[in-house]
Amino acid sequence: MNRIISMPISIYALGGLGEVGKNMYCIENEETLIIIDAGVRFPGVELPGIDYIVPDFTHLKNNRNKIKALFITHGHEDHIGGIPFLLQTVNIPVIYAPRLAAALIKNRLEEYRIGDRAKIVEYDDNSVFNVDSMRVSFFRVTHSIPDSFGVVVDTKEGRIMSTGDFKVDLTPIGPDIDLTKIAQLGNEGVDLLLSDSTNAEQEGYTPSEKNVLDSIKEVFENAQGRLIISTFSSNISRIQQICEVAVQMGRKIAIVGRSMEKAVEISRGFGYIHVPDNSIIQVQDIRQYRTSEILILCTGSQGEPMAALSRIANGEHKDVHIQPGDTVVFSSSAIPGNGIMIERVVNQLARAGAEVVTNSILSDIHSSGHPSKQELRLMLKLVKPKYFMPMHGEYRMLRIHSELAATVGVPLENSFILDNGDTLTLSKHKVTRSYPVEHGNTYIDGKDINGLVNAVIEDRKNLTDDGMVAITISIDSKNNKIVVPPEFYSKGLINQGSVHFIDECKHLVEKAVREKLMTKTNFAELKTVIKSVASAAIFDKTNCSPMIIPVIMSKN
């Protein structure tokens, strides 16, 4: 008789816990590692110069021989945006993705000129893939982008089920959520459920996407001049509704922003967005039409500095400039942390003469793609998991979701509120905590896959907050004497014009260097002394901690 060898399953996230975005969840045993989603998180104003934040892939590099597949739940950037960086770090034998997500991934990889590095296989709700001893299947869910799915991983140790991003929309734009299949999976038995927590703070049900249609029509009817609507380029359901109303109202559609242009092009090709060719015009042709005949559809609803709407608001776009009578609509809610950037863009638009419409009680122009509490309760009731791990949300969202699960039958001791890197072990249908894996953030500036280390980020924060001071000094290294006393060059420092303050700092630095030169020393030690003395003196006078850059020139 053959003995079945038990291989406990590890479940952990490298991104998506304690944050909204950067989703990456891993399921691993001794021979196999599969990944669910590989997203990015977009930085706020606290990270100057950073374009994307992706997970630290060190653990994956250390286990590269075990990686067998990447499964994508849907085509949003916080689930697929990290793929180019992942593929340049480790080999992914195959990427399984829904139809629309697969097309968006291919387009993104072509932008990075690495389209040949990935084998992409499309799946639907009937697909089943065997990855070593793991069996992976899918169930359809409703979200703000077509072709969204949850994932089921069956192993000898038990069943793991991930909802992906979803909401229970009974009048959706597109296919229904497959509640029958979800209930069937629950009746068969689910050991561990991972479920979307983004809207866990909201009671009731998330409004249907179709509820937004009336508000969109009202905005069109009230706009006397040009209408500029900004939303996520991947919110295909919303874009379809906007285009549908634009055609009804006789407005020509100009699409601004590369990601928006590509998303519309791909979605039209697949039949997810229906709009006649003669309704779409080039942005440079908008002057040929009356202002009341124009709709400009663009990216930038989160206030991103390089997005189309920000460039329009700043007067930097070559074809679109705000003029009195324009109505600008933000048709998406703010991602946590982006509020300041959005407010800045709103004020710039208003200053230029536009009427700005944002999400409010009076203008319900955004419907979330994530489930509120009643939908979360329904999912838990249908699945009836033995153990529960809330995912995709900040800590307070995960905690609320865990407490909510306790009210519908999942004991609190069977719920696990984790951080990125924390690990659960599934063995013989029992889930326990285990040792964490290496994790963290990689900050992407441009397309450099190496990312920036935390020290560089801290330097940027210091420059933003307190400026910098360069201190030059010339010494005779042979005789250990100062040839030219220290000079200070500062940028962005309070009191930099105070001669008395600068002279006092120079005196303290010069005294410290002279004392150090009387002992056996080297350039590294001298730089440390200069930084230490100057930092203390500057902080004492200004309560600021600028970046100190010592420059030592040697006569010899």
Taking only the tens place, the pLDDT of each residue in 243-260 is: 999 999 999 999 998 889
Nearest to 98, CA basis, from 37, 186, 159, 26 = 37
Radius of gyration of the chain (CA): 28
Instruction: Yes or no: say if 538 and 547 are a contact pair by the CB < 8 Å rule.
Output: no
Rounded-to-integer distance, Cα 148 and Cα 489, Å: 55
Q: Say which residues have a Cβ less than 8 Å from residue 142's Cβ, sequence separation at least 6.
A: 148, 166, 167, 168, 169, 172, 174, 175, 176, 177
- E-assigned strand segments in 379-502: 387-391, 423-427, 430-434, 441-444, 468-476, 481-491
Note the pLDDT of residue 208. 83
**370 in catalytic set:** yes
> Could you read off the pLDDT of 466-482 as tens digits, one per residue?
788 899 999 888 888 88
CA atoms within 13 A on the CB side of 426: 27
Q: Which residues contact 92 (CB under 8 A, 6 or more apart)?
A: 35, 67, 69, 70, 86, 118
What are the sequence ranges of the domains in the chain? 9-204+371-446, 211-354, 455-554
Q: Which of 74, 76, 370, 401 is catalytic?
A: 370
Q: How confident is the model at residue 315 (pLDDT cuts 50, 70, 90)?
A: confident
Q: Is there a contact between 207 and 369 (Cβ–Cβ < 8 Å)? A: no
CA angle 306, 310, 312 (to 5 degrees): 115
The mean of the pLDDT values for the chain is 88
Q: How many residues does the chain have?
A: 556
Is the per-residue pLDDT at 197 higher than 50?
yes
Out of 3.40.50.10710, 1.10.10.10, 3.40.630.30, 2.115.10.20, the CATH code matching 211-354 is 3.40.50.10710
Q: What is the C-alpha to C-alpha distance for residues 134 and 247, in angstroms, rounded to an integer? A: 48
| Encoded tokens for 239 | 């874009």
Q: Which of 370, 417, 394 is nearest to 74 (CA)?
A: 370
Tell me, what DSSP letter sits at residue 113?
T
Contact between 135 and 154 under an 8 Å Cβ cutoff? The reply is yes
Among 515, 519, 513, CA closest to 554: 513
Q: Report the alpha-carbon distance of residue 235 to residue 242 in Å, rounded.
A: 11
On the question of pLDDT at 398 being above 90, the answer is yes
Q: Is residue 362 over pLDDT 50?
A: no
Beta strands in 142-219 (DSSP E): 148-155, 158-162, 192-196
Element of type H or E holding 179: helix 179-188
pLDDT at 498: 56
Distance CA 73, CA 101 (A): 8
What is the mean pLDDT of the segment spanning 45-58? 81
| Torsion angles phi and psi, residue 490, rounded to 5 | -120, 150
Structure pTM? Answer: 0.81
Q: Which of 196, 326, 422, 466 is catalytic?
A: 196
CATH topology of domain 455-554: Ubiquitin-like (UB roll) (3.10.20)
Instruction: Please give the single-letter amino acid code of residue 67.
Output: I
Residue 52 sits at φ, ψ, to 5 deg, of -145, 155
pLDDT for 356 beyond 60: yes
**Tokens, residue 430:** 């029992």
Is pLDDT of 547 > 50?
yes
Does the pLDDT at position 323 exceed 80? yes
Place of tokens 């709103």: 346
- What is the architecture of the domain spanning 9-204+371-446? 4-Layer Sandwich (3.60)
pLDDT digit string, tens, across residues 408-451: 999 999 999 999 999 999 999 999 999 999 998 888 876 666 66
| Burial status of residue 492 (CB atoms within 10 A of its CB: 0-12, 13-18, 19 or more) | middle
